[in-house]
Structure 1
């Protein structure tokens, strides 16, 4: 949900992060394709579709703390809103909207601390969601 719906919907003027294919990833993918071909499996598409490719965008090492903090804050707002909606539409006494972690950025925080806090706040939400999902599955078992 976070990667497929929430993050792409954020209105960010910043360039997307680019990723370069590491040699070990390319080697591993080539070995897997070779193994699949040996097995004689049927492939819908082209074998080259399984080759890793570079993703154009900003160099991750060039992203500033301010950019990280802004992205973390926007992600937190979007993810928390979605989790609150889910908690309200699928109520449980022990996992209501009030239990969802809250966070407000400190505008006076230095960039590096603001970035770290934003990342930690998003991680808290993800952890809450994972625990809630595990608890729901355990209750059904």
Structure 2
């Protein structure tokens, strides 16, 4: 049975999220932009949408620890049915030849750390990301 999100002790839960967020210093070493969690976020109860935002940031930080991943964008994490979570994201990598290795690393992290096996990832380099930005405008 999957553990459920605590309903009454959000402070302990958020403090745990805070500790997880700090556990990815490799992201900083690779030059990835990292916004630290505020002390207020860690010490006070937060709304459900804020918890979702924190979880998304923690997942992003975990993905940034994968060697060769430069950035993560357009990430979505949601429950698609009772107890089944889904994550999708775009990852910018330094070498497209490493796409299969990066994808396997993402799948491993999502399964092991977040119990999520429904993962969709678009791997792109900076050139593809720039083309995507132009198409969005």
TM-score normalised by the chain length of structure 2: 0.37
Larger RCO: Structure 1 or Structure 2 (Cα < 8 Å, ≥ 6 residues apart)?
A: 1
TM-score normalised by structure 1 residue count = 0.36
Higher strand share: 2
Relative to total residues, which structure has the larger helix share, 1 or 2?
Answer: 1
**Bigger Rg, which one:** 1
